Amino acid sequence: MSGARKAPLVVVGDALLDRDLTGTADRLAPDAPVPVVADCAERLRPGGAALAACLAARDGRDVTLITGLGDDEASEALRALLDGRVRLIALPLTGPLPEKTRVLARGRPVVRLDRGDGRARAATDEAREALRAAPAVLVADYGRGAADALRAELTARPPAVWDPHPRGGPPVPGVRLVTPARAEAAALAARAVADSGTDADTRGSGTGTRGSDSRTDAGDSGAGADIRDSAPPDDPAPGARAGGPHGRGAGAGRELRDAARDAGVLVRHWRAGAVAVTLGERGVLLSYGEHPLLVPAPVAHHGDPCGAGDAFAATAAGLLADGALVGEAVEGAVAAATAFVGEGGAAALRLPDAPRPTAGRPPSDAGPVAGAGHVPGAGQASGTGHAVRTTGRPTGPAPAPAAPEPFDDPFALVARVRAAGGTVVATGGCFDLLHAGHVGLLQAARRIGDCLVVCVNSDDSVRRRKGAGRPVNPLDDRVRVLRALACVDAVAVFDEDTPERLLADLRPDVWVKGGDYAGADLPEAALLQEWGGQAVLLPYLDGRSSTSLLARAARGGAR
């Protein structure tokens, strides 16, 4: 799709004028314990729907922005910023355009000043015609009237992406993808529950079972590892830090569980195709109403999250306009938003020269070690610290014992991590022929929490699942290879056909499986719910599986 002509996009929503005053602060005011910011330089930027439109147009896409604008100074300044970059269709505005002014000292925000309460008050024939002709539409609804003014037209032709805000109205039915931040999803789900009269404790968990069974064993699927403008501090923007190490605190599992529940509520209440809840540095939780898919954010240097939600929504809308599937669009948007944050966010955005109008650091093999330095024994690069525990019937000689370490037993590791307030993540599979898909899955799973326990099928279990001739590699070899990965903290072996018994003993906060975008059967999901855990899918790399490797080897050819 990269070489094809990009489809045009129409953005409907509420534009803002963002103003940054950047200076230095070397002293406190004599009359109050507040910094004195001096030598300020001013920079104006498009904000809200205007930022989303500019980001969508950066790669040469033809973008039309429909938004409320007036005759005030802020509206004129925004017009000048947008001139030649996007086609602008102005809706009449009641009141001055909203402005958000950030005062920064040495790059750090000190205070934000908001003014302007203008609202778009009516649709225009030009706006209606643009929507009727639009191949794809992105709605950036900040609750200031633009989406409401065109709601009838948006209902007749549902948008590709709706970026909501608690002050705005609900998306129209039939939207392909809705992109709330975590706090917004919680507020909007609570409103949906109140509107429908559903008991908050029974609003669903997003863990039903699809009619089609596309279950993929994590060990044989492979995983492709690899997130809002003025997001509040406790609800970080996509790709931004969540206030600590990855997965720090048992809240990581609870956050995924609650996000999955809220997303499922919103999919059903809004009759949307999918809901993608942005989770800061953890990435995005994508729900079609049932089993959630977690798309982790790539490893990146930390930057300014301002505008990341707009980058995520704009990228997803553009990819959908170009023909991508929802899951593909979300994965691409996660990567783009993370890169946007790492580059400094909206504050560092340098728009290319406007044409005249015609009408980070890459991830290592081991991935980041979440929580390293906080939970002793977790995330060690050496295989000697990895533990093996077998459940079920004996399967032959036990693996050679590892050198004594504080966590020779995965259950001891789990207990220590949990006592420190950390998040325990587990995944499982045969891992017969370790390949890039496996490594991607394990790296991504490790980034979710503070330790990763890999549950491995015994030889007998693999043989029952895969048939004669499997496994190719015996248990000792499979365990040894897994133990050599720095993203694996412990290995536990089970002899049964499924890992439910082992999971009931481990009680992980998060259970990870490789899966596709349409959702897969997760028989472990109900079990995880018994102790408040959450089962999630991670996207996998197509064509990476032990079975396909063996098939190619038998043919004697490459992929």
3-state secondary structure 245-270: CCCCCCHHHHHHHHHHHHHHHHHHHH
CATH 3.40.50.720 fits 383-555, yes or no: no
- Chain region(s) in the chain for CATH 3.40.1190.20: 9-22+38-206+225-348
Report the distance separating Cα 511 and Cα 217, nearest Å.
12
E strand intervals along 146-268: 161-163, 177-178
Q: Report angle CA 430, 431, 434 to the nearest 5 degrees.
A: 165
- Residues with catalytic annotation? 310
H/E segment holding residue 113? strand 108-115
Backbone angles phi, psi at 535, to 5 degrees: -95, 135
CB-based contact 437:218 (threshold 8 Å): no
Between helix 182-196 and helix 251-270 the angle, nearest 10°, is 50
pLDDT in tens, the chain (559 residues): 455 688 999 999 999 999 999 999 999 999 999 999 998 999 999 999 999 999 999 889 999 999 999 999 999 999 999 998 999 999 999 999 999 999 999 878 899 999 999 999 899 999 999 999 999 999 999 999 999 999 999 999 899 999 998 888 999 999 999 999 999 999 999 998 888 776 544 444 444 333 333 333 344 333 333 334 333 334 444 555 444 334 444 567 788 889 999 999 999 999 999 999 999 888 899 999 877 889 888 876 567 788 889 999 999 999 999 999 999 999 999 999 988 888 877 777 766 554 433 333 333 333 333 333 333 344 333 333 345 554 443 344 444 444 334 345 899 999 999 998 899 999 999 998 888 888 989 998 998 889 999 999 999 999 998 888 888 899 999 999 998 999 999 999 999 999 999 999 999 999 998 875 444 567 888 899 899 898 888 887 554 454 555 455 555 555 5
Structure-token pair, residue 135: 């191949």
- Chain region(s) in the chain for CATH 3.40.50.620: 383-555
The most distant pair of C-alpha atoms in the chain lies apart, rounded to whole Å, by 81
CATH 3.40.1190.20 fits 9-22+38-206+225-348, yes or no: yes
